[in-house]
């Protein structure tokens, strides 16, 4: 998308979804998703190699978020890009992995959109990050399907995300 007005609308939509979900949950912090919405929009639309229709494609770039305060960024982008759901056998189900109703239930008991995303609950969540900063070591060690080396060496988007979201990784980069 090269239309600046549409890009700004998309960024503001990520921000608005984040504000509304955090407010409805009465839990979390909207500041980080609001501030990082332009970054996430840019990475998903200009840098990442990812097909929302095939979220388990082996050579995809992985979006690893190591900041639970910003988890609405992940839920928003999965919803807005229409990432498709897959089942336990990795078969595409033909429905979105995150719906607007899922976002309305953000941080609620049994929600598909918890404050700290869990791998294998929702398509597009690449790893369980746990406490703050735990995704960094996981992402650094992720093998690339192309050559077996750590994926960080082949994925500009992932390297940038880790550096941007996790201060300890910024010094290691």
Q: pLDDT (tens digit, 9 = 90+) per residue, 83-118?
A: 999 998 889 999 999 999 999 999 998 888 888 887
Q: How far apart (Å, rounded) are the C-alpha atoms in residues 126 and 49?
A: 14
pLDDT at 137: 57
Do the beta carbons of residue 106 and residue 135 sit within 8 Å? no
Element containing residue 101 per DSSP (H, E) = helix 100-104
Q: What is the pLDDT of residue 141?
A: 54
Contact indicator for 92, 102 with CB cutoff of 8 Å: no
Stretches in the chain below the pLDDT threshold 50:
148-173
pLDDT of residue 67: 72
What pLDDT is attached to residue 78?
95
Determine the Cα–Cα distance for residues 88 and 144; give it in Å rounded to an integer. Answer: 22
The tally of CA atoms less than 13 A away on the side-chain side of residue 37 is 22
């Amino acid at each position: 998308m090269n239309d600046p007005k549409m890009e700004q609308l998309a960024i503001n939509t990520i921000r608005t979804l984040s504000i509304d979900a955090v407010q409805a949950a009465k839990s979390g912090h909207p500041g980080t998703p609001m501030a990082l919405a332009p970054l996430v929009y840019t990475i998903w639309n200009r840098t990442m190699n990812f097909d929302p229709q095939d979220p388990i494609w082996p050579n995809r770039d992985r979006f690893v978020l190591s900041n639970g305060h910003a988890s609405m960024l992940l839920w928003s982008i999965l919803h807005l890009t229409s990432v498709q759901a897959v089942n336990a056998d990795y078969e595409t189900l033909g429905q979105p992995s995150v719906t607007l109703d899922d976002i309305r239930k953000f941080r609620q008991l049994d929600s598909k959109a918890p404050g700290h995303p869990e791998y294998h609950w929702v398509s597009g969540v690449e790893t369980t990050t746990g406490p703050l900063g735990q995704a960094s070591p996981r992402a650094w060690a992720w093998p690339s399907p192309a050559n077996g080396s750590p994926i960080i060496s082949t994925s500009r988007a992932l390297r940038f995300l880790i550096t941007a979201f996790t201060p300890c990784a910024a010094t290691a980069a």
